[in-house]
Amino acid sequence: MMPKNQKNLKSSIKNITKKHHFDLCYFTKPIISQHLQKKYDTWVEQGMHAEMDYMSESQRMHLRKNPQEMLSDVKTVICLGMFHSPPLQSLSDGLAKHTHGVIASYAQGDDYHEVMKKRLKAVAAELDGLLGQHAQRVYVDTAPVLERPLAQQAGMGWQGKHGLTIHWKKGSYLMLAEIFTSADLEIDEAVDEHCGSCQRCLNVCPTSAIVAPYVVDARLCISYLSIEHKGMIPHALRSSFGNRIFGCDDCQQVCPWNRLAHTPNEDILKPRLENDMPELSMLMHLDEVKFREFFRKSPVKRLKRKGLLRNVAIAMGNSKDHLFINVLMDALRDEEPLIRAHAAWALYQIQPIEAALLLAQHLKNEKNADVVLDIEYTLGESNHD
């Protein structure tokens, strides 16, 4: 039977979401303020969405700015958050271990899309029983939803200067999801931002991707470049990658609100130990089959072998460690052009004089025009020295 008042109803919904391992549950209207709509427009106009065409496609932009049109008669958005473990290594320890690669903390366990979607559906099934006749739809990251502004106006947490949602008690290591429903539920109060005069995330960002407080230029952000960007990594940014091979946690690791970051009691997104700083050499030896086995059910799998090994080659180059020369020479013969180009760059970082001779030889047989261009650019860099 439906509880009589809104407070009981909300509390029943919260209990259901908790039972399915969502740590946070807040309620808001499906409306994005004019100010935030304008901010989104400006971000896209300035090209900061990089190659994420789904962010600039007009119908999807319209829906992002008008969540009330996502579902007919939608009245409430239930914003949900699920925490994952903070990084197992400190920022300095992780970056200093140059023979190993850093994978962002959220990506060290099972793919959150799969984990959360399954649980969202279970929540939705229970809501059908609780709310009776109502329409609803669930979303995790893949739909045109401005989820962080919605989370802020729902009171879950504010969008920090690094653009991510921060819960004032539990920090920012959390993934978001939403349920849009036609049920008219009491909303929660928006939360104010509490970054104050802090600038830590802006100062630590290795590529200066936080171009102004609350504005992240994806074209510069390692999280975007190492995961979403499918092609060659711009030469000017490769050295800033350090040994980050999938995503980047730097701006979250320095954030004072993560000093007491929440570690879930029962972390269903818990990191697998083998994904905490895997050895670069081991990764570079993965063929397609071994890659799929090693990253089974992991979000890293979506990057595909060629994308990950591109990043691994960059990390090897940045290490300047002669240990990697042989494995990089093998990678120069890989069938994937992306891997060959970045292996060539890496060899040049480690041993410029010898690599220049080797790459000049390699160019005589290299058939892929993009790889040729990229290696010529690498060697061109040598001429400027």
Residues that bind ligand SF4 (CB under 6 A): 160-162, 195, 198-201, 205-207, 209-210, 216, 221-223, 248, 250-251, 254-257
For ligand SF4, the closer CB: 88 or 198: 198
Catalytic position from the list 73, 93, 111, 141: 141
- Find the shortest distance in angstroms from Cβ 171 to ligand SF4: 9
C-alpha 3: how far from its chain's center? 39
CA dist 45 and 39 (Å) reads: 10
Q: Least distance to ligand SF4 from the beta carbon of 202, Å?
A: 7
- CA-based R_g, the chain, Å: 23
Dihedral (Cα; 83, 113, 151, 32), 10-degree rounding? 170
Nearer to ligand SF4 among residue 150 and residue 221 (C-beta): 221
Is residue 141 part of the annotated active site? The answer reads yes
| Nearest distance from C-beta of residue 29 to ligand SF4, angstroms | 26
CA atoms within 13 A on the CB side of 352: 10
Whose Cβ is closer to ligand SF4: residue 30's or residue 206's? Answer: 206
How far apart are the C-alpha atoms of 334 and 344, rounded to whole Å?
A: 11
Instruction: Tell me the residue length of the chain.
Output: 385
Shortest Cβ 54–ligand SF4 spacing (Å): 19
Q: Which is nearer to ligand SF4, 58 or 92 (CB)?
A: 92
Question: Least CB distance from residue 214 to ligand SF4, whole Å?
Answer: 9
Choice between 74 and 103, CB closer to ligand SF4: 103
* CB-based closest residue to ligand SF4: 160
| Strand partners for 171 | 167
Active site amino acids: 141
